[in-house]
Amino acid sequence: MAKGKRQVKVRFRFAALLFLAGACAVGAVFWSQEQKLADIRQQQQELQAKYDALKNEKQRTELMIEYAHSEEYLLEYAREKLGFIGKNEIQFEIEK
């Protein structure tokens, strides 16, 4: 009978050890997955910030293109780059 109790204790210890090892393995996998999720969340935030910056740049560029087709821009360009003046305007040249 002593042999039977001993065999039950050994089986119980083995089962407890096996359960503990399994729980540790599951815990390690869970922790690893949480780390990967944290990295993915960080990458997602960085990509969202880049996307927002590019979206703003696109909007700014579209506004610049729209402004470049306006008469106001053409007059400004003609005055600054080409030296044209309008009717009833006087051009002053300042020497440095």
In a domain, 65, yes or no: yes
pLDDT in the model for residue 30: 95
For residues 85 and 79, the answer to whether their CB atoms sit within 8 Å is yes
Provide the residue range defining the domain that includes 16. Answer: 2-82
Quick one: pLDDT at residue 21?
A: 94
Which of 13-17, 19-23, 33-37 bottoms out in mean pLDDT, i.e. has the lowest? 13-17
Q: Is 95 part of a structural domain of the chain?
A: no
90 occurs within a structural domain: no
Identify residue 38 by its one-letter amino acid code: A
Q: pLDDT digits over 30-88, tens only?
A: 999 999 999 999 999 999 999 999 999 999 999 999 998 998 888 888 888 887 887 78
- DSSP label at residue 85: -
pTM of the model: 0.55
37 in any annotated domain: yes
First-to-final CA distance of the chain? 115
The answer to whether the CB of 54 falls within 8 A of the CB of 60 is: no
Token pair for 34: 């949480």
Structural domain count of the chain? 1
Q: Are 67 and 73 in contact (CB under 8 A)?
A: yes
